[in-house]
Structure 1
Amino acid sequence: IDLGDKMEYYPEAVEERLNDNADHFKNLIKGILDEHLEQSGNPGIVVSMYDTELFGHWWFEGPRWIKKVLQWVDDDPELALTTAGKYIDMKPPQVVVNLPEGSWGQGGYHWVWFNDWTTWTWEKIYECEDKMESLIQKIKNSRKDGDLNRMLVQLGRELLLLQSSDWQFLITTWSARDYSESRVAEHYEKFSTLFKIIERYIDDGSIPDSSWKYINALEEEDGIFPNLEIKDFFGE
């Protein structure tokens, strides 16, 4: 639908529609389970899997709808919430199936992320991953002071930002391609520069004022994952 043809948004009408949608979904679940019980004589389970970005990103009220569904299902004495792990523990599988490798990308494989247009990004990522691993092994069992820990955490942030699979996806689909390529180059450069600063600090304990200014700027620009700890990269 063209943006000009869309209905106006009325926030006051949202709650009623959320209730209608949540009630419909809950009753849909009950109907499926009732039919299964009638046909098989055994209670069943409904596995309802979604790409969670659909709730919130594409549907602003989606998280509120999920909350209502979960609350109403939990309140219904004929229904019960569970997890895949708990259900398997309760009812061990009788057969084994082999799932083929695949993805939600075009064609069901990995071409969207790994192709001639994106090979260079993976070369940058693998290089930084190797450097991060070697650095972690080097300092893993040594005492890390506050300055070193601070720099290592920021190095981890830059690596995580570099590893975002959005970049390859957007490059391949030509959606903000220039922006994605520049972000890969940007985080690679930031990681590489900070890595050299850390190496120097480990070798002689010095951090020039210019390096501190650079680190402060990185933390200001890329302060994502505030609870990140360097031990998260230890692989234990």
Structure 2
Amino acid sequence: MTDSACGLAEKEPYDPSRATARADEHGRNFVADRLTQAERLARAMHRDPLIVAPFDAELFGHWWFEGPRFLEAVFRAGASEGLTFTTLRQCLEGQPRLQVCRPAPSSWGQGGFHTYWLSESNAWMTAEWDRAGRAMLTLMDRFGEGQGQRRLLQQAARELLLAQSSDWSFILRAGTTTDLARQRLDRHLSRFWRIRDHLEGLQNLPPGWLHTVEHEDNVFPDIDLSPWQPSPSRIS
């Protein structure tokens, strides 16, 4: 970027080598700042400090072309400086006795709350997601023990997740490609309910239908069904 304030006609041609060098510099600087932060926190804590660094993943490569290079620089610089990288799950497994806090509901969206996804244009989707989500729990309770229906259950889970993508409600609120958003939501929910009806014996799926849908909606090929495993408090 030549200058954020100049017009397109005044911008210089993109220079990959300079952009890469700047991303590397930013990665090293990020690690240095985190080390300084960790040292400051360590003086006030009785355990090693944990710094959570959440990123909006779509920014890397989409809005910020050098984003993946920045992440590489962070991991390389962190490793050379003795910084340990972990996940929240691994942290909890290693230190199960931690203070419990209840963060206030918030969002990166407009206003810092969920109003962008709960407007007059899209709030109706929440009830559809909830109904399908509860149905998925019921399906797992009835058919999740054996392997005979695993392919169907996995595809039902994929369709549910695809339907629950916040992109569709975001698009409806923004008023851009609204027909696409409605079509995608309807398609994934329709496929989910067809699988549910087949499992419950209400209708039979046409020959080859599951294979076709698996090919079209093949996100998460090894999807884990354990998050939908039933528990007494979840199915009601």
Give the TM-score of the pair, scaled to structure 2: 0.73
Residues 5 and 194 (structure 1 numbering): CA distance in 2 closer, same or farther, change over 3 Å? farther
Letter in 1 for 2:213: L
Structure 1: distance between partners of 2:32 and 2:215: 48
Residues 212 and 232 (structure 1 numbering): CA distance in 2 closer, same or farther, change over 3 Å? farther
Following superposition of structure 1 onto structure 2, how do residues 91-110 of structure 1 map, counting pairs within 5 Å? 99-110=103-114
Letter in 1 for 2:71: I
Q: How far off is 1:123 after superposition?
A: 2.3
Letter in 2 for 1:222: D
From 213, 221, 226, the counterpart of 1:218: 213
Q: How far off is 1:9 after superposition?
A: 2.6
Question: Which one has the largest radius of gyration?
Answer: 1
Q: Which runs of 5+ in 2 are unaligned?
A: 232-236
Q: Deviations over 1:13-61 (max 9, x none)?
A: 4433333333333444456678x59xx9769968463423232322222
Structure 2: distance between partners of 1:75 and 1:26: 10
Letter in 1 for 2:170: F
Structure 2: distance between partners of 1:21 and 1:187: 41
Greater per-residue helix proportion: 1
What is residue 80 of structure 1 aligned with on the other side?
83
Letter in 2 for 1:135: L
1:68 matches 2:73: yes
Q: How far off is 1:130 after superposition?
A: 2.4
Q: What SS does the corresponding residue of 1:81 show, helix, strand or coil? A: coil
- Report how many residues are paired: 219
1:182 matches 2:183: yes
Residues 150 and 33 (structure 1 numbering): CA distance in 2 closer, same or farther, change over 3 Å? closer
Contact 2:31–2:77 (8 Å) recurs in 1: yes
RMSD after superposition: 3.5
Contact 2:20–2:69 (8 Å) recurs in 1: no
Q: What SS does the corresponding residue of 2:117 show, helix, strand or coil? A: coil
Structure 2: distance between partners of 1:133 and 1:33: 42
Following superposition of structure 1 onto structure 2, how do residues 155-234 of structure 1 map, counting pairs within 5 Å? 155-200=156-201, 207=204, 211-234=206-229
Residues 68 and 10 (structure 1 numbering): CA distance in 2 closer, same or farther, change over 3 Å? same
Q: How far off is 1:155 after superposition?
A: 1.1
Letter in 2 for 1:111: T
Residues 5 and 193 (structure 1 numbering): CA distance in 2 closer, same or farther, change over 3 Å? farther
Contact 2:20–2:66 (8 Å) recurs in 1: no
Q: Deviations over 1:197-221 (max 9, x none)?
A: 2222xx8xx956xx12322221121
Q: How far off is 1:225 after superposition?
A: 0.6
How many percent of aligned residue pairs carry the same amino acid? Answer: 26
Letter in 2 for 1:139: F
Q: What SS does the corresponding residue of 1:212 show, helix, strand or coil? A: coil
Residues 71 and 215 (structure 1 numbering): CA distance in 2 closer, same or farther, change over 3 Å? same
Letter in 1 for 2:221: P
Give the TM-score of the pair, scaled to structure 1: 0.73
Q: Which runs of 5+ in 1 are unaligned?
A: none
Contact 2:144–2:150 (8 Å) recurs in 1: no
1:8 matches 2:10: no
Q: Deviations over 1:147-206 (max 9, x none)?
A: x22122111111111111221122112232222122111111111222222222xx8xx9
